């Protein structure tokens, strides 16, 4: 079994925050792949299903971001899921909006959810970093992550969530590089149409 965790804060007031993109991602995966209803488990909400033939549990910790490990650790240990089979989707300030990178292990880089998981479970989980961009000033970071996505950001956010859900079988199979490549291809903006050879520009007298 693989455990795919989306990080965020519980409650309607946080639902559309940039910090909650991890919740949004696992919700999109659950919808696309017909997972079970969300149920309470170890201070979180869990849903079960299969993605590409791989048994998967999706998890949304309800402990608030700073204590995510209190949910992830007990859940992984109960199901005997190794750190290498735990995938954590989270917001990433140091990536441009809509960019996705996957890495294994490493430091928390100031992310309190990752820090909590490292302290209460392991540093060796798979991290799916979902770019939300940096506000440009460290004093504005707190407000940036705890603010809702702007309306204009839906232009990249909705396609990204769709792409993450579509490419999820690669993530479930542990094909991290192929997953990143697939998401990048699915979220590429459409290329401008080339003008047909011989097509003349309309003249002044043309309607």
Whether 90 sits among the annotated catalytic residues: the reply is no
Contacts of residue 65, Cβ cutoff 8 Å, sequence gap at least 6: 7, 8, 9, 19, 112, 113, 116
Q: Catalytic residue among 16, 19, 90, 144, which?
A: 19
As a three-state string, the secondary structure of the chain is CEEEEECCCCCHHHCCEHHHHHHHHHHHHHHHCCCCCCEEECCEEEEEEEECCEEEEEEEECCCHHHCHHHHHHHHHHCCCCHHHEEEEEEECCCCCCCEEEEECCCCCCCHHHHHHHHHCCCCCEEEEEECCCCCCHHHHHHHHCCECCHHHHHHHHHHHHHHHHHHHHHHCCCHHHHHHHHHHHCCCCCCCCCCCCCCCCCCCCC
Residue numbers annotated as active site:
19
């Amino acid at each position: 079994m693989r455990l795919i965790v989306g990080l965020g804060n519980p409650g309607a007031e946080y639902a559309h925050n940039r910090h909650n993109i991890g919740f949004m991602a696992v919700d999109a995966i659950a919808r696309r792949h017909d997972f079970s209803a969300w149920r309470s488990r170890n201070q979180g909400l869990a849903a079960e299903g299969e993605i590409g033939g791989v048994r998967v549990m999706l998890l949304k910790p309800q402990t608030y971001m700073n204590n995510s490990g209190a949910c992830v650790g007990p859940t992984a240990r109960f199901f005997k899921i190794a750190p290498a089979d735990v995938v954590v989707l989270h917001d990433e300030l140091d990536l441009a909006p809509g960019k996705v990178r996957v890495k294994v292990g490493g430091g928390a880089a100031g992310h309190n959810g990752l820090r909590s998981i490292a302290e209460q479970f392991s540093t060796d989980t798979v991290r799916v970093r979902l770019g939300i961009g940096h506000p440009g000033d460290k004093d504005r970071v707190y407000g940036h992550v705890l603010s809702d996505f702007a309306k204009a950001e839906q232009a990249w956010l909705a396609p990204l969530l769709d792409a993450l859900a579509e490419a999820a079988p690669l993530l479930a199979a542990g094909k991290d590089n192929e997953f990143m490549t697939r998401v990048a291809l699915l979220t590429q903006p459409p290329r401008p149409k080339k003008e047909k050879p011989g097509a003349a520009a309309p003249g002044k007298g043309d309607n």
